[in-house]
Amino acid sequence: MNELKGIGASNGISKGKAYILKDNMPEIKEKKIKDAKKEIKKFEDALEISSKQISLLKEGAIEKLGQEKAMVFDAHLGILLDPEMDSQVKSKIESEKVNASFAVMTVAETFKQMFLSMEDDYMKERAADVSDVTTRIIKNIEGIEIKDLTLIDEEVIIIAHDLTPSETSQLNAKFVKGFVTEIGGRTSHSAIMARSLEIPAVVGTGSDIFNIKENSNLLIDGSTGEILINPSEKLITKFNKKAIELEEKKKIEATFKDKESISKDGWKTKVAANIGSPADIDAVLKNGSDGVGLFRTEFLYMDAENWPTEDEQFEAYKKVLESVDHKIVIRTLDIGGDKKLNYYKFPYEMNPFLGYRAIRLQLDKLDIFDTQIRALLRASVYGKLAVNIPMIATIDEFKAVKERFAKIAKELKSEKIKIGEYELGIMVEVPSVVEMADKFAKHADFFSVGTNDLIQYTFAADRMSEYVSYLYQPFNPAILRKLKTIIDASHKEGKWTAICGEMAGDPLLAPVLVGMGLDEFSMSATSILEIRRLISEINKEEAQKLVDKVLDVETDTEVKALIQKFLDDNKITI
Ligand code: PEP
Ligand code: MG
């Protein structure tokens, strides 16, 4: 096997050694032993090694993520050195004459059950820490290799089933040159993170990737989804040439940094950035963004050890509002689906993407929602704030949201806390909102279309599943007609529409979106200059004629052909 193909998820060409991340925990069985002392020694040695490993991880985390984030490793060391656990494991080995791994596993189970039975959500979540630490001890007893992502110190391409958003955000781009995942599509969150970190990535390859041998030389192309295993010199030269061409293109686009986002015939729009934390501001400024079209606040929650406080959130929102002198659209918590929290156990559901997530959860947990609203309203005086509500499905939900904002605003006023002006809009992700767009446009200040979810709900195709990834069809007239409906409905009420899903950053779609009069394109900061350059070459009036054509054909292939013809006729290259 020397070539594999997946879904290109983050552009760029990169090389590195294969670093395979696979669950390698063996099944632990009870074994009767004769020499308890020897078994206890194995346990003690494993504790010592584990302690060194965790201390190293802690040092790395302090350096990369700061003291606060590294605190989780103190908790791990605390569990590791817990005298109660130590004595229970040793007495089990001695009295029951069982192997050390089995003793650790059973004692860990009692500790986990103890934490899980506690009332407090925070304490419940400590069960996961016990699991983490004891798995490490068992692997060290069994002599099984442990892979810690933060300790990577040579150029690698990671191969994994999937990477969670928090794992992805901890990758050190200096050494991690790319990643390849077995599952996922272009809009899975690991793919989105890869684009914002500018790490080339290929996703949804299927299980064949696990046939790749550790340390093989890999070359990946994140735009085509190609994965070359131990490539020949000839192939390396070919790909190097492609990488140089990409660099040339980037140089031209860099000249658009301080330009307006304006079409060839003078129609103005905005090209903004999607961010996940205040740390992304640098990329926003570096790419000359017209503001932030989507601040996904869930990362503040996912990177924390507990629900972030009002002040912690306020500081993060204030920082972004103060640093960027344009409109900042902050989205309220969009958790659930594939985005989980370490400190909160979601109810079990057959279809989490259709379940308890985003605004559904917040309208149910009003204390969590109120804390976020207070932080947002307090921050509103520091810049141009727009707040955007994810996964709205009904008018009643949005009315409930507005009431909540009004109630908190009143409370803040009575506390003599100042509130600035702000807009309140809707993420259009659920098809019911498109059907009712004319009515929603009367209540909302703006629409921001989350096409990643809108596509998955329109085609009933899980965005995480590589088996149905052919149904991720942003070019299908079914989606384009929806966009037209939404944009027209907003304009009729004097409101504006943005797209913050991945469609906004797809160069091939730019002519259609210009033709529809999209007010804001919001995307990974790294795509901004490319899209601004393209918009500058498109004549809006011509593009409107293209829109009429694409809405009238039957398939996504026909739409792509029509757009390609438009580009060719107008001598525009992408
Ligand atoms: C979307 O659904 O298009 C979107 C922008 O939100 P997310 O990708 O975070 O679900
Ligand atoms: Mg979404």
pLDDT of residue 284: 94
Instruction: Report in angstroms the alpha-carbon separations of 273 from 85, 137, 251, 327, 345.
Output: 49, 43, 20, 11, 31
The pLDDT of residue 51 is 92
Helix (H) or strand (E) holding 227: strand 226-229
Closest-lying ligand 1 atom to the alpha carbon of residue 390: 6
Whether 10 and 191 have beta carbons less than 8 Å apart is answered as yes
Quick one: which atom of ligand 1 is closest to the CA of 502?
Answer: 3
Q: Measure 451 CA to ligand 1 centroid, in angstroms.
A: 7
pLDDT at position 24: 75
Tokens describing residue 552: 């009238």
| Ligand 1 mean position, distance from CA 353 (Å) | 12
Q: What was the pLDDT predicted at 237?
A: 94
At residue 552, the pLDDT reads 98
Distance 339 CA to ligand 2 centre (A): 11
* Pocket probe mutation, ligand 1, options 359, 500, 522, 523, max atoms within 8 Å of Cβ: 500
Tokens representing 30?
């009870």
Centre of ligand 1 to C-alpha 104, Å, is: 42
Is there a contact between 162 and 183 (Cβ–Cβ < 8 Å)?
Answer: yes
- As a whole number of angstroms, the distance between CA 327 and CA 293 comes to 8
Which pLDDT value is given to residue 546?
98
Listed residue (398, 274, 406) closest to 330, CA to CA:
274
Give the pLDDT of residue 69. Answer: 64
CA of 17 to the centre of ligand 2 (A): 34
Instruction: Determine the atom of ligand 1 nearest the C-alpha atom of 451.
Output: 3
Pocket test for ligand 1, best of 452, 524, 527 (most atoms within 8 A of CB): 452
Rg of the chain (C-alpha set): 26
Which atom in ligand 1 lies closest to the alpha carbon of residue 500?
Answer: 5
Give the residue, by CA position, lying nearest to ligand 1 atom 9: 296
Amino acid at residue number 296: R
For ligand 1, atom 3, the nearest C-alpha belongs to 450
Q: Taking a C-beta distance cutoff of 8 angstroms, is the pair 197, 185 a contact?
A: no
DSSP label of 149: G
Give pTM, 2 decimals. 0.77
Q: Atom 4 (ligand 1): residue with closest C-alpha? A: 450
Question: From the CA of 188, which ligand is nearest?
Answer: 1
What is the full per-residue pLDDT of the chain (574 aa) written as tens digits? Answer: 699 999 999 989 999 999 998 877 788 999 999 999 999 999 999 999 999 988 887 887 777 666 766 777 888 888 998 999 999 999 999 999 999 999 999 999 999 888 888 877 667 667 777 888 898 999 999 998 888 887 788 999 999 998 876 567 668 888 999 999 998 888 787 888 888 788 999 999 999 999 999 999 999 999 999 999 999 999 999 999 999 998 899 899 999 998 999 999 999 999 999 999 998 899 899 999 999 999 999 999 988 889 999 999 999 999 999 999 999 999 999 999 888 898 898 999 999 999 999 999 999 999 999 999 999 999 999 999 999 999 999 999 999 999 999 999 999 999 999 999 999 999 999 999 999 999 999 999 999 999 999 999 999 999 888 899 999 999 999 999 999 999 999 999 999 999 999 999 999 999 999 999 999 999 999 899 999 999 999 999 999 999 999 999 999 999 999 999 999 999 999 8
Q: Give the DSSP H or E segment for 400.
A: helix 395-414
Ligand 1 mean position to 379 CA, how many Å?
Answer: 24
Between strands 496-499 and 446-449, the pairing is parallel
Which of 275, 294, 429 has most ligand 1 atoms within 8 Å of its beta carbon, as the pocket-test mutant? 429
Residue 228 has φ and ψ, to the nearest 5°, of -105, 130
- Please give the backbone phi and psi of residue 98, each rounded to the nearest 5 degrees, phi first: -115, 160
Ligand 1 geometric centre to CA of 452 (Å): 5
Ligand 1 environment, Cβ below 6 A: 187, 294, 296, 334, 429, 450-453, 500-501
Helices (H) and strands (E) in the chain, counts: 22, 16
Tokens of 381: 């005086």
The residue nearest atom 8 of ligand 1, judged by CA position, is 452
Cβ atoms 534, 506 nearer than 8 A: no
Q: Which atom of ligand 1 approaches the CA of 298 most closely?
A: 9
- Whose alpha carbon is nearest atom 6 of ligand 1? 450
Amino acid at 308: P
Q: Is there a contact between 140 and 146 (Cβ–Cβ < 8 Å)?
A: yes
Nearest CA to ligand 1 atom 1: 450
pLDDT for 65:
61
CA-nearest of 85, 91, 115, 75 to 36 is 91
Distance CA 254, CA 286 (A): 10
* Residue of 168, 296, 301 to test ligand 1 pocket, by largest number of atoms within 8 Å of CB: 296
Query: Cα–Cα distance between 558 and 144 in angstroms, integer?
Result: 53
Q: Which amino acid is at 231?
A: P
- The reported pLDDT for the residue numbered 180 is 96
Task: Provide the annotated active-site residues.
Answer: 189, 500
